[in-house]
Amino acid sequence: MFRLGEEASFAPWGALSYSWAPQGHPPAVPTSGRRQAYKVFGLLDSFSGHCFSKAHTGRFHSDSSAAFFLDVLTHTTPHLCVIHDGARSHTSKAMAPFFTTQAARVTRGHLPAYSPDFHPIESLWKKVKKLATHLKYFPECTLVQAEGEKTWLHFAQTPQEVMTLMTRYGDSLGALAAYWHTELFLKSYKIR
């Protein structure tokens, strides 16, 4: 089972999506002036469309990343092949002992540096942000969190919709999956 992991932040002032306005009068969205954000760890099953998420306060770091993976492991039984980018929260030296102790359940792989286009979860983040925050103003960060969690729940309950979002990644995802399933990968991580 392949899981594609990533973190995202949702700002309380949302973002301007596509909009129309008379020339010289750009649309404006009020802001609270606070630099808080709703932060989320996410993991996407690339073959079924099922996704896991967990809200996080503060900065992303190794301890919070390990806690998220442990939470996912309590809800799954098959061996996980986790593929993620090079963010420090899951590639730091502090994460090495975690992946060593969880080697029987988790195998990790890394995407090439600076390659967000190869990361199918990016299309899910984009859609979640569009539905949850675009063109909206939230005076409190808790309201952003409520809207984000409602949107995540929608996608968690509709894996087919998630798979539809990933169709533009079909060819590259198929090539990526073929690579990770090769005998070389299985031998190098001693998975049988």
Q: What's the CATH number where 43 sits?
A: 3.30.420.10
Confirm whether 12 is domain-assigned.
no
The average confidence (pLDDT) of the chain is 78
Q: Is the pLDDT of residue 13 over 60?
A: yes
Find, among 118, 102, 81, 71, the residue nearest to 1 by Cα: 81
* Residues 68-111 pLDDT 10s: 989 989 988 888 888 778 788 878 888 889 989 999 998 888 77
Confirm whether 164 is domain-assigned.
yes
Q: What is the pLDDT of residue 88?
A: 80
Q: Is the pLDDT of residue 2 over 90?
A: no
Confirm whether 38 is domain-assigned.
yes
C-alpha distance across the termini of the chain, in Å: 13
- CA–CA gap between residue 90 and residue 98 (Å, rounded): 10
* Residues 142-179 pLDDT 10s: 888 899 999 999 999 999 888 888 775 555 555 555 55
φ, ψ of residue 80 in degrees (nearest 5):
-105, 135
Find the mean pLDDT for residues 18-29.
Answer: 78
- CA–CA gap between residue 101 and residue 155 (Å, rounded): 31
What is this structure's pTM? 0.71
Contact present, 66 and 30 (Cβ < 8 Å): no
Confirm whether 172 is domain-assigned.
yes
Confirm whether 67 is domain-assigned.
yes
Total domain count for the chain? 1
Confirm whether 64 is domain-assigned.
yes
For 112, the domain range is 2-7+33-188
Confirm whether 83 is domain-assigned.
yes
Q: pLDDT-based confidence at 184, cuts 50/70/90?
A: very low
Confirm whether 15 is domain-assigned.
no
